[in-house]
Amino acid sequence: MKSLLIITTKLDAGGAERSLINFLNSYDRSRYTVDLLLLKREGAFLKYVPEDVRILEQDKALFYMYNMAKFSLGTASDGLHRDFLHGIPYVLRRVWSTLYYKRIKKFDRPTAEQYRWENSYSKVIEELTGHYDCAMAYLEGEPIYYLVDKVSADRKIGWIHNDYEKIAGDRDFDEKYFEKLDSIVTISDKCVDVLKKNFPKFAGKVVELPNINSAEVIEKFAEEFVPEEYGEGVKLLSIGRLTQQKAFDRIIPIAKALKVKGVSFNWFVLGDGELRQELVSKVSEAGLQDTVKLLGIRSNPYPYIKGADVIVQTSLFEGKSVVIDEAKILHKKIVATKYDTIMDQVGDYPIKVLEYEPEAVAEEIKTTLASSMGIDASKNYGNVERLEEYYKVIG
């Protein structure tokens, strides 16, 4: 049995995090013992980590650098002595390096995090104790940098869960780290093409592996409860972080157009993020606060997907949408605005895809609500059979 380490940032209810939970609940226990290292030991999905997956303790520098929200006078927890005076140097280092690269140098977030890692974080975070047969960073950015710099393993794998050109910082910086990976995994053919174009010398390392979505796991979680926020009437649902990428501000003109068309509905949004307050304000200014409801993060989104009438995707770009795969498994109607990788997920499923124009999207939603869509409810749209491809890459 081989030892496997998985590194990620935290376990909020994002798409990559949900696919990781699906993997952890589905992988072949006879192949690997799995350790999980979270840069931030938090997130709504922590409770879904199986008992036989060991969540590692963070060293004190790692804790202070990534968990400042938990830092308080006299705090001591998780077996580490985290008193106020002990943590001050680490917290000051974090605050200064973040302000310097984001506010003074005015780098975008990915670039700021790259140079913050190189010039500050990596100087004080300790190397991880022990050695693994394989270690993989399940998200791009700092999990990959930590993997390369701080982990001892026979094989190292980095995941890119998005279209690299849409999230890239300094490519030369990433190139130094990609050089030291044995495989670079991404989640769609389009994302593979983008990586090979940007890093042609690593083309032989780039592998496409889909997010694992287990129908058995998702259907089980979908039965856990009936959302108390749901009631009678039409329920539209969108899920994702409240960031520019997800373009949830598009909901407002679409919702207005639906109202003009006489459709009575509630539109629920699951997720949180940096644009939450801005979106709350826009919803209120549009007078839609009784119709568009921002529910925040839910540790289990699947009952919400199961109970919705239509799943609406408004993203500007995606690597490969986990929400769409989950909605397919639960045989839901889906309307999506067009982006580069969306057609990779359509296949034989009747997803309605169209260019973003509020009136047209509203009309499509209205039509979809009235249509049976021809969805084959007997078909299993999960993909756990592709775990074999994971095993080949992991070794």
Pair of tokens at residue 25: 């609940």
Please name the residue that has the structure tokens 């008992």. 51
Are 2-214+385-394 and 221-370 the same fold in CATH?
A: yes
Q: What share of the chain is helix, strand, coil (3-state, %, to 5)?
A: 45, 20, 40
- CATH among 3.40.50.2000, 1.10.8.60, 3.40.50.1820, 2.130.10.30 for 2-214+385-394: 3.40.50.2000
Which pLDDT value is given to residue 97? 80
Residue 211 vs residues 17, 258, 339: alpha-carbon distances, Å: 10, 33, 18
Residue-level pLDDT at 79: 43
What confidence score (pLDDT) does residue 72 get?
A: 47
- pLDDT (0 to 100) of residue 66: 85
Which letter does DSSP use for residue 120 in this model? I
Between the two ends of the chain, the Cα-to-Cα distance in Å is 11
3-state SS, residue 254: helix
Q: What is the DSSP string of 326-380?
A: HHHHTT-EEEEE--TTGGGGTTTS--EEE---HHHHHHHHHHHHH--TT--TT--
- pTM here is 0.86
Q: Which sequence spans correspond to the domains of the chain?
A: 2-214+385-394, 221-370
Contact between 230 and 307 under an 8 Å Cβ cutoff? The reply is: yes
Residue 314 and residue 250 in contact, taking contact as beta carbons nearer than 8 Å: yes
DSSP assignment, residue 108? -
Distances (CA, A) of 4 to 8, 11, 56, 178, 200: 13, 18, 12, 19, 28
Q: Tell me how crowded residue 143 is: count the other CB atoms within 10 A of its CB.
A: 21
**373's tokens:** 């869509």
Tell me how far apart the alpha carbons of residues 149 and 253 are, in angstroms, rounded to a whole number. Answer: 47
Neighbour tally for 119: CB within 10 Å: 12
Question: Among residues 182, 184, 187, 183, which one has the least CA distance to residue 209?
Answer: 187
pLDDT for the residue numbered 85: 62
Question: Is the CB of residue 296 less than 8 Å from the CB of residue 271?
Answer: yes
Q: What is the pLDDT of residue 68?
A: 61
Residue 52 contacts by C-beta under 8 Å, 6 or more apart in sequence? Answer: 29, 34
Position 94 scores a pLDDT of 76
Residue of 300, 321, 330, 303 whose CA lies nearest to 215: 330
Q: How far is CA 295 from the centre of its chain?
A: 18
What's phi and psi for 321, nearest 5 deg? -70, 115
Classify 365 in phi/psi space as left (phi over 0), alpha (psi -120 to 50) or beta.
alpha
Of 52, 384, 350, give the one whose Cα is nearest residue 219: 384
Query: 270: closest CA among 291, 250, 245, 241?
Result: 241
Q: Residue 8's closest CA among 43, 50, 32, 60? A: 43
At the fourth CATH level, the homologous superfamily of domain 221-370 is Glycogen Phosphorylase B; (3.40.50.2000)
CA–CA distance, 127 with 140 (Å, rounded to integer): 19
According to DSSP, residue 253 is labeled: H
What are the pLDDT tens digits along the chain (395 aa)?
Answer: 999 999 999 998 788 999 999 999 999 999 999 999 999 998 888 999 999 999 999 888 888 888 765 554 444 444 444 455 667 787 778 778 877 777 777 788 889 899 889 999 999 999 999 999 999 999 999 999 999 999 999 999 999 998 999 887 899 999 999 999 999 999 999 999 999 999 999 999 999 999 999 999 999 999 999 999 999 999 999 999 999 999 999 999 999 999 999 999 999 999 999 999 999 999 999 999 999 999 999 989 999 999 999 999 999 999 889 999 999 999 999 999 999 889 888 888 999 999 999 999 999 999 999 998 889 999 999 999 999 999 999 99
How many angstroms separate the CA atoms of 68 and 249, rounded? Answer: 30
Q: Tokens 């770009």 label which residue? A: 317
Number of H helices, E strands in the chain: 16, 13
DSSP secondary structure of 18-45: HHHHHHHTTS-TTTEEEEEEESS---TT
Rounded Cα distance, 333 and 153, in Å: 44
* Alpha-carbon gap, residue 280 to 294, rounded angstroms: 8
